Structure 1
């Protein structure tokens, strides 16, 4: 059945199509050209070399974080992490449960305060900014959460959620301009301008994540942390959201930190992969190299759990 074939084909695998096929493509009986065009390993390598030719957008040095534990003790979560992220890059962050992936993403954004180290974004150490300076910077640094059902205020319309974020950051000279921009963004993420006045409960999970993406884009960010941003979605719509994220990255010159437990998705989406093992960097390298020739035993164990790689 076309639906079954679509479910099987829409998951990222060993090949690297320019665009993932979706279930809807199979139901229509027509695959878009990009889904049948494979990106070669050499092309991906050259793209990464070009990305890394200039100065980094983000430089993390000696980042550490611990949390309070019973009896006044402290539990270390991140240990002396050092790495760079380049403009236009997608850096994947993978690791088992409790490895520190989400804490790393939130520490970079200062949603949790690091205990030590530097987080230098465009030449500014974010840890040295006061509250006012950090608020001004947050427009460029955004987070797409895992759960689209809790990411939106149920009392705000979709349009209200987008325009409120714009107003808070001083985007748009008047309400009409913000409304027009919000409608244009809804259209760009595959929704309709008519959805502007509807409430979150009237949308599916995939549609809500598109709304969250539209709200994020409204702030014109440069760096977006995607924290398991498709994990809560049905498999049938995951490919649609991944394609959208890739398209928007190209259109807006975005840089992604892509946190996920799904190594096939990370390989498809990311230029390089950082492997976290209990808060330490076990390995960091180009996605294809790490996938095909892992150096760390921990990485090999993670890959052994991926169908088709054992």
Structure 2
């Protein structure tokens, strides 16, 4: 966006100006490691195995994977392997409307049908008001669909009573856009994680839950000393790591990531995306990845579902949809990406 609207760019890091140059010069030949890191950490047209981070550039050392590109053919073969077995989730004829003025109803989702496979990341994109968040919450029954089926591992979630649905909650989790609002400010980080475990009967005693919580904090890049601190004492990126640790504590299979990096500074987005990908491989997770950022979705997801006013405009492999969009609405979304001609 800055490249399209600015004539000159001033780059600041920790309160100091580290670089200033005409916009085209800065984007073509950045001089400071921090500037190079900011430009490189955003997903683009190439597909590195891991995204480089700003810290990598400040250290002057790029870790393994950041310079290794994943070929289109490799991604295609991976998707074929994922889709060779039965789906983990089947959405059939899903519809949802909300009350409107004068007793009318406003339809939000229209007869949506699609499948999600174990280990897959399915991206869900669309403009504001397209129904992305409502779809994610309807699948989890955080809002009740008006019609259709949500079949998870052979069970229609809409047919479960409260007790049955609660048993499923461990496997079906949500990572919110704003990590601060999803954490209780009166609970310590450790309390938030261990409380979730206690509610779902994970761990035989408090000590076991504490040890597990500390191990999870370490895994997401935090420290055991953070266990007794409160959410306001952390940065946005750290709070999102806490939310991810709390989610992992329940041993989920399917996670809905609803704009889960949108509230984060660009300098930490790559760190969280790399973490989500690593955890997906380690734990065999399946993601529904909701985002307005098509470059991020292409990098993260095996397939992309495009929603237009509650209808499926297009669904297909990420690379195919990005390079050869079939729907006019998809082409408009892609043309709106900054830097796209």
Calculate the TM-score normalised by the size of structure 1. Answer: 1.00
Cα distance in 2, alignment partners of residues 19 and 33 from structure 1: 8
CA distance in 1, matches of 2:338, 2:291: 16
Q: Secondary structure at the match of 1:12?
A: coil
Instruction: Please list the CA deviations of residues 262-284 of structure 1 after superposition, one character each: whole Å capped at 9, or x if unmatched.
Output: 00000000000000000000000
Matches for 1:8-47 after TM superposition, within 5 Å: 8-47=39-78
Q: Deviations over 1:204-223 (max 9, x none)?
A: 00000000000000000000
Q: Quote how far apart the aligned CAs of 1:240 are.
A: 0.1
Aligned to 1:168: 199
Return the alpha-carbon distance in structure 2 between the equivalents of residues 149 and 59 of structure 1: 32
CA distance in 2, matches of 1:299, 1:200: 38
Which blocks of at least 5 consecutive residues in structure 2 are unaligned?
A: 1-31
Quick check: 1:118 aligned with 2:167? no
> What do the CA deviations read for 1:229-273 (whole angstroms, capped 9, x no partner)?
000000000000000000000000000000000000000000000
Choose 1 or 2 for highest CA Rg. 2
Q: What is the CA-CA distance between 1:149 and the residue it aligns to?
A: 1.4
Match of 1:85 in 2: 116
Show the counterpart of 1:63: 94
Once the two structures are TM-superposed, the CA of residue 306 in structure 1 deviates from its matched residue by 1.2
Structure 1 residue 307: Cα displacement: 3.0
Distance 1:28 1:279 in 2: 45
Q: How far apart are residue 309 of structure 1 and its match?
A: 3.7
Q: Does 1:286 align with 2:317?
A: yes
Distance in structure 2 (CA, Å) of the matches to 1:27 and 1:151:
32
**How far is the alpha carbon of 1:40 from its aligned partner?**
0.1
Shift >2 Å, 4+ stretches:
307-310
SS in structure 2 opposite 1:309? coil
Aligned residues: 310
Displacement of 1:33 in angstroms is 1.6
Please state if 1:73 is matched with 2:104: yes
Describe the superposition over 1:57-83 as per-residue Cα deviations: whole angstroms up to 9, x where unpaired: 000000000000000000000000000
> Alignment partner of 2:61: what SS?
coil
Pair 1:48 & 2:79 matched: yes
Deviation at 1:308, TM superposition (A): 4.1
Whole-angstrom CA distance in 1 between matches of 2:86 and 2:340 = 34
Any idea what the Cα deviations from partners look like across 1:152-200, whole Å, max 9, x if unmatched?
0000000000000000000000000000000000000000001000000
Alpha-carbon distance in structure 1 between the residues aligned to 2:145 and 2:118: 23
Local SS of the residue matching 1:35: coil
The Cα offsets for residues 6-47 of structure 1, whole Å up to 9 and x where unpaired, read as 000000000000000000000000001200000000000000
**Whole-Å Cα distance in 2 between the matches of residues 39 and 28 of structure 1?**
25
Which of the pair has the greater relative contact order for Cα pairs under 8 Å at 6+ separation?
Answer: 1
RMSD: 0.5
Q: For 1:3, which of 34, 37, 51 is the aligned residue?
A: 34
Secondary structure class of the residue paired with 1:211:
helix
Task: Give me the whole-angstrom Cα distance separating, in 2, the residues matched to 1:185 and 1:269.
Answer: 22
Match of 1:26, SS state, is helix
| d(CA) in 2 for partners of 1:257, 1:207 | 22
* Equivalent in 207, 215, 226 of residue 246 of structure 2: 215
Deviations 1:283-307 (A, max 9, x none): 0000000000000000000000113
Question: Matches of 1:286 and 1:243 in 2, distance apart?
Answer: 21
- Paired with 2:254 and 2:134, the residues of 1 have a C-alpha distance of 17
**2:66 counterpart SS class:** helix
Provide the secondary structure at the position in 2 that maps to 1:36. Answer: coil
Distance 1:89 1:107, change over 3 A: same
Q: TM-score, normalised by structure 2?
A: 0.91
